[in-house]
Amino acid sequence: LESGDPVAAGERVADLHPAEIAHLLESLPAADREPAWEVIRDRFHADVLSYLNDDLRAELLHRLSPEELVEAAQQLDIDDLADVLPDMPDAAIQAVLNSLDDQRRSRLDTALAYPEDSAGGLMNLDAVTVRGNITVDVVLRYLRRLGDLPDATDTLFVVSREGRYLGHLPLSELVTAEPGLTVAEVMRRDLDGIPGETPAHDVAKRFEHRDLISAPVVDTDGTLLGRITIDDVVDVIRDEGEHSFLSMAGVQDEEDMFAPVRASARRRVIWLGLNMVAAFVAARVIGLFEASLQQAVALAVLMPVVASMGGIAGNQTLALVIRGLALDQIGPGNTLKLLRKEITVGLVNGLGLSVLIAGVAWAWFGDPALGGVIALALIINLFMAAVAGTLIPLLLRRLGGDPALGGGMLLMTVTDVTGFGVFLGLATLLLL
C-alpha cells in the first residue's frame, strides 16, 4: 500500500472502516507511519482514534494541532471523546472543552466520572428511551420520526418520568407486539440495570452468560445513564485475553508492536532486572555447594535439567490456575482440591520421567547412584512446582495484585532454587 503513490493510497484508505485504518497503522513500522499519516491526514476520520492502542493514540494526538483536535472532538461520540481526552496535550484539552456546547459538556462530565474499566467508562450515551404509558403504535411512529437508530440498538429502554430505568423493549418484541398494547404491558424486566461502577470484567461476564447485545447502565438511584453495547464488551474480552498472555511473559499489554526502542526497553527492563535478582538468588544457592561441584563436575552438567523441568511443569499449573481465576472458577470451596489434583499430576509425571532421566544420567556418567539422586530431585521439584504454580497466583490475587503479572518469574525462582538446591544437596549428602 505504501509503495504506490500517495494519492491512490489515500483513495484506498478512504474506503476502509476506521477500525481497519487503525489496524493498518498499528501494523506499520515506526518509520513508515509518518508518510502513512500524511496520506490519511486530509481525510482523517476521528473514529480511528478510538480504535488505536494507547501508545499509538497518544503519539497521533500529539501530532495533531489543537484546531484539528477540536474538529476531531466534534466528530466523536461523547463516550469515545471521554476515552481520548486524557491523552491529549494540555493545551488541546482546554481548547476542546471550550468548544463543547453545554449539553455535550455535561454528558462528557458524566462519562468522565467513571474509570475507563468500569461499566460507566464503557457506556455509550446514545440509548433510545421510551415511557411506559405510550402504546406500541406510538413508539413505532416515534422511531420512524427519529430516523436512524444508533448501532447495536436491539432494545429500547423504558424509563419513568424521573429517568429511572424500569425495563426494556426489544425491537424484536416491538415488531411482533399488538400495536394497541402499552409499552408497560409488553416490556421485559429480565435485564437489570448495571451500576456504573461495576468492573468491566463483571460486565463482560454478564454479557457472556446472558448473550446480551446491549444493556442499561444506572447510577445508585436507578437513573438510566447510558448503555453498554456488545462491541465494547468484545474489546474487553479481547484485552483480557491479551493481558494474561502478555503480562505472564513480562510485556505490558498496551505495548505497541513498533513502540520506540527507548520506551520498549524501559518497560521490559523492569522484568529483566527482577529476574536478575531472582537468578542471583538461585546462583547463591548453587554457590553453597561449591565444594561438591568441585568434586563432581557431573553435578554442574546435570543441575539445569532438574531446574528446567520444574519450570515447565510449574508453568503448566500456573497457566491453568490463572485461567481459572480469570473465569472466576476458583474460590475457597475448591482451592484445596485443585492443589491436591495438581500435586498428584506432578507426582505422576515426576515418577514417570524420573526413570528416564535416571537412565540417561546413569548411562552418561556411568554412576547409578547419580541417576538415583537426579530422579529423587526431579520428583521433589515437580511437587514444588505444582504447589508453587497453584499458590503463587492465589497469593498474588489475595494481595490485591494481578495473578498473571510476575507470577511466572516468582514461580521460576521457586523451581530454580528448589531444583538446584535439592539436587546439589542430595548429591552432597548421598554421593560425596
Residues 101-160 that bind a second copy (CB under 8 A): 140, 143-144, 146-149, 151-154
- Residue 15 within binding range of a second copy, rule CB under 8 A: no
Instruction: Rank residues 86 and 401 by Cβ distance to a second copy and give the closer one.
Output: 401
**Minimum gap (Å) between residue 114 Cβ and a second copy:** 22
Q: Using CB under 8 A as the criterion, what x/- string covers residues 231-270 for binding a second copy?
A: x-xx--xx-xxx-xxx-xxxx---x-xx--xx-xx--xx-
- Report the site for a second copy in 215-234 (rule: CB under 8 A): 230-231, 233-234
Out of 65, 94, 106, 344, the residue judged to bind a second copy by CB under 8 A: 344
Backbone dihedral region of 34: left (phi > 0), alpha (psi from -120 to 50 degrees) or beta? Answer: alpha
For a second copy, the closer CB: 40 or 92 = 40
- CA triplet 251, 253, 257: central angle to 5 degrees? 80
Is 27 a binding residue for a second copy by CB under 8 A? The answer is yes
366, 294 Cβ separation under 8 angstroms? no
Under the binding rule (CB under 8 A), the answer on residue 307 touching a second copy is: yes
Q: Nearest Cα to 409, choosing from 213, 295, 277?
A: 277
Query: 380 to each of 208, 247, 376, 385, 426, how far by Cα in Å?
Result: 41, 28, 6, 9, 11
Of the residues 11, 67, 185, 290, which one makes contact with a second copy according to CB under 8 A: 290
331 binds a second copy (CB under 8 A): yes
324 is a contact residue toward a second copy (CB under 8 A): yes
Closest to a second copy by CB, 120 or 406: 406
Query: Residues 39, 166, 218, 302: which binds a second copy (CB under 8 A)?
Result: 302
Work out how close the CB of 251 gets to a second copy at its nearest, in angstroms, rounded to a whole number: 5
Cell digits of residue 197: 461502577
CA–CA gap between residue 109 and residue 43 (Å, rounded): 29
C-alpha to C-alpha distance for 135 and 178, rounded to whole angstroms: 9
Cα–Cα distance for residue pair 186/81, rounded to 1 Å: 36
Contact with a second copy (CB under 8 A) among 312, 355, 363, 430 = 312
> 71 or 239, CB closer to a second copy?
239
CA dist., res. 330 & res. 171, Å (int)? 38
Tell me how far, at minimum, the Cβ of 225 lies from a second copy, in Å. 21
- Helix then strand then coil, % of the chain, to nearest 5: 65, 10, 25
Cβ count near 256 (within 10 Å): 20
The yes or no reply on residue 176 touching a second copy (CB under 8 A) is yes
